[in-house]
Amino acid sequence: MSLKKAKVLTISQFIEPFTDGTEMGRAARQLPQGMLDRGNEIRTFMPKFGSINERRHQLHEVIRLSGMNLIIDDTDHALLIKVASVPSARMQVYFIDNEEYFKRKNLTHDDDEKFFADNDERALFFCRGALETVRKLGWKPDIIHCHGWMTAFVPLYIRHFFSDDPHFEDAKLILTVYDEQPEDLDKDLAKKLGQEGFSKDLLKGLSKPTTDDLNKFALNLCDAVVKGSPKLSRTMESAIKASEKRVLAYAGEDERVNAHAEFYHEVLEEALAGA
């Protein structure tokens, strides 16, 4: 049975054509479009990296959605929301922007290939910003599909911050894991999350966190997982197996939309059966 009339929220670290050359960017571009073409509703979010040319891609600020402040590590950060349409598609992408976190031209590493020290905070800001914006839109997704380690805080916020929020209470969470080189994150990450009111017990796996740890953390809070690369690291393969979640095997470009439509449907059917 095909998926139709579902509301699918995609939150991705990268999306083509705004970032290019990654399997993640291609998948996060192809899937929302495929779901839209099948009669589903979509909303799609990514960070507004400084390398994205606003004029070329015709980004504009959505004033009614901007202007919130998010507190990360005890500091206020202004949230700006921009939007653009993907050329040749009816698909809109919302961008989460902030002067301090996303102005720099590089994505996640500096010119010397060094992982940015504040990538944890950038990820926190991005995830919170996307979810706050969905609430402001008054939109209630059936499926929230996260792509990449930078989206790993979405399940945490939904399960523990917005657990009673009517926008998200019925949403099914899906995480796609990609074959990415693990990087070390700020050792104070758990402390920063503690300031937001998350309990120490919940944050156990994040004492000396890497991006792999973050993926594993998110995986345990999700309903299902997708293998976004033909091969994943042994660590991630073991984590997926241990999680005992419903898994979608890697699907190449030609099968991707069909495979996901079926997978989304199964996840939603399972939820209905269990309700």
Average pLDDT of adjacent 10-residue blocks, the chain of 275 residues = 80 94 94 94 96 90 81 81 88 93 91 92 95 94 96 94 90 96 92 86 85 93 96 94 94 95 92 71
Range of the domain at 251: 7-274
Kindly state whether residue 2 falls inside one of the protein's structural domains. Answer: no
Q: What is the CATH number of the domain that holds 168?
A: 3.40.50.2000
Number of domains in the chain: 1
Kindly state whether residue 215 falls inside one of the protein's structural domains. Answer: yes
Residue 63's pLDDT is 79
Kindly state whether residue 138 falls inside one of the protein's structural domains. Answer: yes
* Alpha-helix runs per DSSP H in the chain: 23-37, 99-102, 119-137, 153-160, 189-195, 211-221, 234-243, 256-274
Kindly state whether residue 1 falls inside one of the protein's structural domains. Answer: no
- β-pairing, 75-85 vs 68-72, is antiparallel
